[in-house]
A and B are shown apart, each in its own frame.
Chain A
Amino acid sequence: MITKFQVAYRNLLRKKMRTLLTLVGIMLSSWVLVSLLGFNRGYERSLNHDIENMGYQLMVMAKGCPYEAATMMLQGGTGLRYIDQTMVDSIAKEPEVDKITPILMQAFFDPNKGDGGGIAGYYGVDPATFPGMKPFFRFRQGGWFRDETAAEAVMGYEAAELEQREVGDMIIVPEKNVTLKVVGILERTGTQDDGTIFVPLKTLQKIAATDKITTIGIKLKKDADSAKLEAELYKLPDVQVVSFTQVKQTIMKLISTARVMVFSVAVIAILIAMVGVVNTILMSVLEQQQEIGILKTMGAMPGDIFRLVWTETLIFCGCGGVAGIGLAFVLARMTDILMRRILPYAPGGGLVAIDLRLALLTLTVIVTVGLASGIYPAWKAGRVRPLESIRSDGR
Chain B
Amino acid sequence: MSGNGISLEARELTRVYRMGSEEIRAVDGVSLTIGRGEFVSFVGPSGSGKTTLVNLLGCLDNPTSGELHLAGRSIFGSGHILSEKDLTRVRRELFGYIFQNFYLIPTLTVRENVALPLAFYRKPETEEEVDRLIGMLGLEQRRNHLPRQISGGEMQRVAIARALVNRPEILLADEPTGNLDTKRTEEIGEVLQELNRSRGLTIVMVTHNPGLARLGERIVEMRDGRAFEA
Contact = CB atoms under 8 A, between A and B. Distances in A.
Interface of A: 1-4, 6-7, 10-11, 13-14, 290-291, 293-302, 304, 385-387, 390, 393, 395
Contacts of A291: 103, 105
Given A2-B108, A13-B107, A387-B61, A298 B116 contact: yes
| Main DSSP-derived SS at the A contact region | helix
Given A2-B115, A387-B55, A300 B108 contact: no
B60 A386 contact: yes
Contacts of B91: 297, 299
Contacts of B116: 2, 7, 295, 298
Interface of B: 51, 55, 60-61, 84-85, 88, 91-92, 95, 97, 99-101, 103, 105-108, 112, 115-121, 130, 162, 166
Contacts of A6: 112
B100 A395 contact: yes
Contacts of A294: 103
Contact of A304 (B95, B108, B120, B130): B120
A298 B108 contact: no
Contacts of A293: 103
B107 to A, nearest CB: 4
A156 to B, nearest CB: 61
B95 to A, nearest CB: 8
B117 A299 contact: yes
Contacts of B107: 7, 10-11, 13-14
B164 to A, nearest CB: 11
B112 A299 contact: no
A393 B107 CA distance: 20
Contacts of B84: 302, 385
Nearest to B130: A1
Which of A3, A14, A293, A297 lies at the interface centre, i.e. has the most chain B CB atoms within 10 A of its CB? Answer: A297
Contacts of B118: 1-2
B106 A14 contact: yes
B85 A302 contact: yes
Central interface residue in A7, A11, A14, A304, by most chain B CB within 10 Å: A7
A296 B61 CA distance: 13
A18 B106 CA distance: 17
A3 B119 contact: yes
